[in-house]
Structure 1
Amino acid sequence: MDTTTARGSLLAALACVLVGGSFTANSLLGDYPYAGGQFLRYTLAFLLLLPLAGSGATARLRALGPGPWLRLALLAAVGMVGFNLAVLAAERSAEPAVPGVFVGCAPVLVAVLVPLLDRRRPKRAVLYGASLVAAGACTVQGWGRTDGAGVAFSVCALLGEVGFAVLAVPVLRPLGPRLLSTTVCGIAALQSAVAGVLADGAGWLRAPDAVEAGALLWQAAVVTVVGFVCWYMGMQRIGAERATLFSGLIPVAAACTAPLAGTGSYGAAQAAGSALVCAGVALGSGVPLPFTGRRGPRAPRAEEDRTGGQRTFERSSEKL
């Protein structure tokens, strides 16, 4: 495994571990208006990211055509605001494990969709690895009580998770990880404000108490700023297919931190699922497999990695 692949894998893994470990913060915001919380989170993240956007950010944004701007709006609406809303709505009539199981299948869909959009065949090793990751994520979380609405909203959450990766592919190369993260956070903040006014009226935003403020600060500064930048830097180096494999670490990290917060336990099922996730990530991402002495699929060349797969991005963006 070369240095570029190793760094990309570590960045993607760190991003997913941060998201998985943020579930405790989510539980502290149960009484806070949803749209208002999303507005504060993404606004604060936007302000923190703005100095990091890099030189020439305005010129790069002006150079974007209508197609990329539409994609950015969809990325924020589907992969950020919509995803969080779908998870929240699913948990009203289903146990949290149910949307988690559906979201755990995202690596399989991404492993199929990204190659098809690029007019190439999905790679077997990535597909096999994604299947193991999905199975491991389901094993970690188990299955819970639900109804038709819970299943429907869980499917929407799955589509949001897939969209967060797939929709970013053509715009990652021209914007880069930091400017992309900054832009989508700004758009998501505006979308959250509109959704809040339409859904909750004057009560869409209120001053958070000390606990809620701490949870929102963690989500904005750590999960969003650090997590988003690391995620897109990782995706730029190893591609969306392999990066999404690491999303299986989200339920693993949540299961590992649950006992520390007193919100769950870590048992045999969680250990077995974690092993499956790690095996799937190793198989599909190119990490050496110590128990077979083999390596996963050959990583793209360093030149292609640094541009986020230049030819892939250009062909994908032309389809819009």
Structure 2
Amino acid sequence: MNATSRSGALLAAFACVLVGASFTANSVLGAYPYAGGQALRYALACLLLLPLLGRGGTAPLRALPPRAWLRVAALAGIGMVGFNLAVLAAERTAEPAVPGVLVGCAPVVVAVLVPLLEGRRPTRPVLYGAVLVAVGALTVQGWGRTDLAGIAWSVCALGGEVGFAVLAVPVLRPLGPKLLSATVCGVAALEAAVLAVLVDGAQAVRVPAPAEAAALLWQAAVVTVVGFVCWYMGVQRIGAERATLFSGLIPVSAALTAPLVAAGAYGPAQAVGSALVGAGVAVGSGVLGAAPHRRARAGAPTDPTGTTGPDDAALRAAPHAPSAAADPDGVARRAGERRP
């Protein structure tokens, strides 16, 4: 693994650790209006990201074709707002571990889907690592009670997590991590605001209590601004297939931080699951030197820097992003469940 790949792996890992820790911090948002909270979160994140773009930083948006704007809207609607809505709906009839376990399968889906979309075979080390990560996430969280509706909504949440990683790839190169993060946050804020008005009407937003305000600020400033930028920088360096492996760190981080607020315990199962996640990340991300792309075998051009990505035709160096989500003890709730 070269320096570019190492930095990409560290960025993706850091983003996912932030998300996992946020599940514990955001447990206080269970009573806050979901869609309104999401609108506030993403709007504030967009405002915080704009100064980071510098003068003329939004210029690439003018050259973005309508098709790319549709992709950005889908990324925000499916991978951000839709993901959170699906998790919330699943938890109405299922224990939080159920959507967490299914979303934990995102690395496996991405490891298969991205190569198929590019017309190549899945990379074996990445696929094997993804399976280890998924098993580790299941071990950390366990399984919970559910019904058919809970499983269906959990599958939708899995689709949202996969969309968060895959839909971003073609627009990451022309926009870059910072502008893409700001753009999807602005679009997600508008989508969440419309949803809030339709669902909650006049009760869509209320003045948050001090603890709720702190949680929303953490979501916006740390998880979204810092997490999204780090996540997309990681995707840019190591690709969505390998970056999504690090979403297995989300349940590990949540399990480690839950005892701090007496919301769970870190026991032998969590330790074993954490070890499996670590092994999967090591195998699939190339830490052990075992994750080259098949593309070089096929005679396709390789990246001289040594980095490879899920869509090299559109993104030379190119999870989920954020993404995603595991909640070992029911810590993650309602308005705050978005990773990088």
2:197 aligned residue: 197
Please tell me whether residue 243 in structure 1 is matched to residue 237 in structure 2: no
Superposed CA RMSD in Å reads 1.8
Structure 1 residues 302 and 275, CA gap change in structure 2 (3 angstroms): farther
Q: CA deviation at 1:303?
A: 4.0
Matches within 5 A, 1:140-179: 140-179=140-179
Paired position in structure 1 for 2:328: none
2:129 maps to 129
Structure 1 position 61 matched with structure 2 position 55: no
Q: Report if the CA contact (8 A) 1:236-1:309 is conserved.
A: no
Q: Cα deviation per residue 1:244-297 (whole Å; 9 max; x = unaligned)?
A: 000000001001111112100011111111111000000000002xxxxxx221
Number of the residue aligned with 2:81? 81
CA 1:10/1:126 → structure 2, altered by over 3 Å: closer, same or farther? Answer: same
Q: In 1, Cα distance between the equivalents of 2:258 and 2:98?
A: 17
Gaps of 5+ in 2: 294-301, 319-340
**Matched ranges for 1:141-290 at <5 A:** 141-288=141-288
Structure 1 position 54, deviation (Å): 4.1
Aligned partners of 1:312, 1:142: CA distance in 2, in Å? 38
Shift of 1:114: 0.9
Measure how far apart 1:310 and its partner are. 4.0
How far off is 1:217 after superposition? 0.4
Shift of 1:55: 4.3
Q: Is the 8 A contact 1:87 1:99 kept in 2?
A: yes
Q: Any unmatched runs of 5+ in structure 1? A: 289-294
What is the Cα deviation at residue 116 of structure 1? 1.2
Residue 32 of structure 2 aligns to a residue whose secondary structure is coil
Contact 2:255 2:265 in 1 (8 A): yes
- 1:142 and 1:302 mapped to 2: Cα distance? 43
Q: Which has the higher helix share?
A: 1
**CA distance, structure 2, for counterparts of residue 152 and residue 308 of structure 1:** 28
Distance 2:240 2:82 in 1: 20
- 1:297 — aligned with what? 291
In 2, the alpha carbon distance for the partners of 1:87 and 1:310 equals 32
Q: 1:311 aligns with which of 302, 310, 313?
A: 313
- Cα offset, 1:89, TM superposition: 1.1
Report the counterpart of residue 106 of structure 2 in structure 1.
106
Find the aligned partners of 2:39 and 2:51 in 1 and give their Cα distance: 19
| Cα deviation 1:133-165 (Å, max 9, x = unaligned) | 001001100000111111111111100000000
Q: 1:254 to 1:302 in 2, by over 3 A?
A: farther
Q: TM-score normalised to the size of structure 2? A: 0.88
Distance 1:176 1:184 in 2: 12
Contact 2:239 2:309 in 1 (8 A): no
CA–CA separation in structure 2 for the residues paired with 1:95 and 1:195: 25
Residue in 1 that maps onto 2:46: 46
Q: Distance in 1 between matches of 2:287 and 2:80?
A: 29
1:308 CA displacement: 8.2
For 1:258, the aligned partner's letter is: A
What is the deviation of 1:304? 6.9
What amino acid sits opposite 2:313 in the alignment? R
The residue type equivalent to 1:164 in the other structure is F
Distance 1:307 1:182 in 2: 23
1:179-231 CA-partner distances (Å, limit 9, x unpaired): 00000000000001000000111110111110100000000000000000000
- TM-superposed CA distance for 1:305, in Å, is 4.0
In the alignment, what sits opposite 1:291?
none
SS of aligned partner of 1:28: helix
* Aligned twin of 1:292: none
Secondary structure, counterpart of 1:143 in structure 2: coil
Normalized against structure 1, the TM-score is what?
0.93
Q: Which residue of 2 aligns with 1:29?
A: 29
Looking at structure 1, the residues matched to 127 and 30 of structure 2 have their Cα atoms a distance apart, in angstroms, of 36
Aligned equivalents of 1:43 and 1:272: distance in 2?
39
In the aligned structure 1, how far is the partner of 2:127 from the partner of 2:104? 14
Contact 2:118 2:311 in 1 (8 A): no
2:321: which partner in 1? none
Deviation of residue 91 (structure 1)?
1.0
TM-aligned CA distance change 1:177 to 1:308, over 3 Å: farther
Q: Is residue 118–residue 312 contact of structure 1 (8 Å, CA) maintained in 2?
A: no
